[in-house]
Amino acid sequence: MLKVGLTGGIGAGKSEVSRLLVEHGAVLIDADRIAREVVAPGTPGLAAVVEAFGEEILAPDGSLDRPRLGSVVFADPAKLAVLNSIVHPLVGARSRELESAAAPDAVVVHDVPLLTENNLAPLYDLVIVVDASPETQLDRLVRLRGMTEEDARARMAAQATREQRRQIADIVIDNDVPLDELKKRVAEVWDDLVRQAGEAHDGRGAE
């Protein structure tokens, strides 16, 4: 098994890269999706978040009002740290469960938005960073996600810098390119990952 950490700044296009890798055959473990699951209504995770932040972060149907919680924590590093201390251990446990169910020669891609910020690179055999210029990120967030420019800039500022992400990268995928070029680059990266996964599997089998 090859354990790959996939990360990139908000608006860099990491979701598109993860989708392409899944098309090639990767086993995707999506930290954001798991983070939503572990704070779903009725979970101990949601109860802990409500205890920390109050019932005002709940929507009328009892689910987590993620935009409201986001507006609270992204403006306050201390509150963000509290939220992370609740959610991250739950996400980590569920991620390990899913990983253990994958085939021995699988390429398991962990889609982790805050991989750089939380110093998680050592957990993976290699790290892929999806890279785009801040101008591209801002444009996508405002144009495609409907954020205000102020909100988009605040979200970007709360993350690691482009340079910090590139420092931990074993592979960089440039996403300041047309989709056809991105697909070609992801296919090249996939071939390399499969080769490494096979070597890792064969190596263990020969021990």
Question: pTM of this prediction?
Answer: 0.82
In DSSP terms, which residues pair with 64 in a beta bridge?
Answer: 58
Instruction: List pLDDT tens digits, range 39-48.
Output: 999 999 999 9
Amino acid symbol at 130? V
What residue spans of 101-148 are helical by DSSP H?
Answer: 134-143
Amino acid symbol at 141? L
pLDDT for residue 206: 40
DSSP-derived 3-state class of residue 158: coil
With a cut of 70, which residues of the chain have pLDDT below it? Answer: 203-207
DSSP-derived 3-state class of residue 23: helix
Q: What single DSSP character describes residue 64?
A: B
pLDDT for residue 41: 96
pLDDT for residue 207: 38
In DSSP terms, which residues pair with 174 in a beta bridge?
Answer: 131
pLDDT for residue 203: 67
CATH number of 1-26+106-207: 3.40.50.300
pLDDT for residue 204: 56
Instruction: List pLDDT tens digits, range 78-117.
Output: 999 999 999 989 998 999 999 999 998 999 999 998 899 9
Q: Where are the domains of the chain?
A: 1-26+106-207, 36-104
